[in-house]
Amino acid sequence: MIDRGAFHEIDWVLIGLLIVNSVIGVIFIYSSSHFLPGNYAMKQVIFIVVSLAFLFLCLAVDYKVLMTYSLYFYLAVTAVLAGLLVFARLVAHTKSWIKLPFFQVQPSELAKIALILLLAQIFSEYKKSTLSSNVGIQAILLVLGPFILVAAQPDLGTALTFIPVLLAAFILAGLRKKTIAILLVVSLAAGLVGWNFALKDYQKKRLTTLFYPSQDPKGAGYHILQSKIAIGSGGLTGKGFLKGSQSQLRFLPARHTDFIFSVIGEEFGFLGVLLVMLTYFLLLARMFLSVGMARDRAGVYIIFMASMLIAFQFVVNVLMIIGLFPVTGVPLPLLSYGGSSLVSNALAVGLVVNVRMRRFANA
């Protein structure tokens, strides 16, 4: 299983880009939380080390082997998610966390990895040029279970990140115009039903304030507006490290988690935004373009789904903080503070490296 030859093929550039982005995160986590107790920056450094350990652990096992266990992994994670709803106590108003003696784990983050492996397993055997309704419905149902369980925590942000994974699989399998139309109609219907029956008031409010942020500056629109003020007031070069009045005066909400990119925008201006986006784009490009290095269909699916997962979160986050997407609680992958999210994103990158390094191996 462990193939020495493969280890010469580890993509150090990709891992390097992962580390560079994480370190940028640490710097701004420090900037946005150094005046708080809790030492978040230091903890994030530890999370990075732990994530890298998980990444290398994942490299040790051929992705084909990982895939054969994907169903069990999926079932285990789903069972834990269901158990959480029943047994977990509320932390920050959601039932997302498993409390362990020294830290908390967010199992919904691991569900992403489970879904990637399971969908890759299913679609690796699918060789038609377009998606059939059979496989399509099967995949939708598989994603729907964890989606509902996570959305009920309620953590709609994390649940939404399952969708690009599914969508990525569909895109590769091939979408006919008819399928696209059906998907659009179904999601629109789901949206309507959700709006009327499932969405909580605060979630609806977030959606409406997306379009009218200044309507209620002290209420739900407050976060978006403050974030926008932070970014806009940064100008071309920013106010300087640790000098952003919006972030240092605790004006921004969730500075070190969901709104960390606003801190970058305020303290280093457009140039900072440009540089960080460029660094991030390099990471995404390296991931996406690895598809050509996959030795089989499953490998392509894994790489593409993992890349879409991170790309989707990145796009949603940078849109959200500037007021172009509702505040859904999607963190900026690799940069935002948080151990579970960091581990799952590092694992996603790890899967890409895993596929790349085994392109010459016998299956």
Q: How far is the CB of 82 from other proteins (least distance, A)?
A: 33
Integer distance in angstroms from the first to the last C-alpha of the chain?
10
**Residues forming beta bridges with residue 105, ordered by sequence position:** 98
Minimum CB distance to other proteins smaller for 134 or for 362:
362
Q: How far is the CB of 127 from other proteins (least distance, A)?
A: 8
At 163, which helix (H) or strand (E)? Answer: helix 162-173
Q: How far is the CB of 77 from other proteins (least distance, A)?
A: 26
Minimum CB distance to other proteins smaller for 59 or for 294:
294
Q: How far is the CB of 9 from other proteins (least distance, A)?
A: 10
Q: How far is the CB of 170 from other proteins (least distance, A)?
A: 10
Asked if omega into 154 is within 30° of 0 (cis), the reply is yes
CA atoms of 359 and 357, how far apart (whole Å): 6
Tokens of 240: 């300087």
Minimum CB distance to other proteins smaller for 87 or for 125:
125
Output the CA–CA distances (angstroms, integers) from residue 148 to 211, 264, 296, in the order listed: 26, 34, 32
Residue 169's contacts (CB-CB under 8 Å, 6 or more residues apart) are: 119, 120, 122, 123, 139, 301, 305
Q: How far is the CB of 72 from other proteins (least distance, A)?
A: 26
Q: How far is the CB of 307 from other proteins (least distance, A)?
A: 8
Minimum CB distance to other proteins smaller for 147 or for 268:
268
Residue type for position 218: K
Minimum CB distance to other proteins smaller for 107 or for 234:
234
DSSP 219-286: TTHHHHHHHHHHHHHHTTT-S-TT--HHHHTT-STTTTTTTHHHHHHHHHHHHHHHHHHHHHHHHHHH
Minimum CB distance to other proteins smaller for 150 or for 322:
322
Residues forming contacts to other proteins in the complex (CB under 8 A) are 34-35, 129, 168, 171-174, 218, 226, 228-236, 242, 245-246, 248-251, 265, 269-270, 273-274, 277, 281, 284-285, 288-289, 291-292, 294-297, 300-301, 303-304, 307-308, 311, 315, 318-319, 322, 324, 360, 362
Q: How far is the CB of 75 from other proteins (least distance, A)?
A: 27
Say if residues 210 and 323 touch (Cβ distance below 8 Å).
yes
Minimum CB distance to other proteins smaller for 52 or for 306:
306
Q: How far is the CB of 184 from other proteins (least distance, A)?
A: 17
Minimum CB distance to other proteins smaller for 45 or for 229:
229
Minimum CB distance to other proteins smaller for 58 or for 322:
322
Output the CA–CA distances (angstroms, integers) from residue 47 to 44, 50, 97, 148, 257, in the order listed: 5, 5, 16, 28, 14
CA atoms of 267 and 149, how far apart (whole Å): 38
Output the CA–CA distances (angstroms, integers) from residue 236 to 77, 133, 319, 352, in the order listed: 45, 50, 19, 35
- Angle between the N-to-C axes of helices 297-320 and 260-288, in degrees from 0 to 180, rounded to the nearest 10: 160
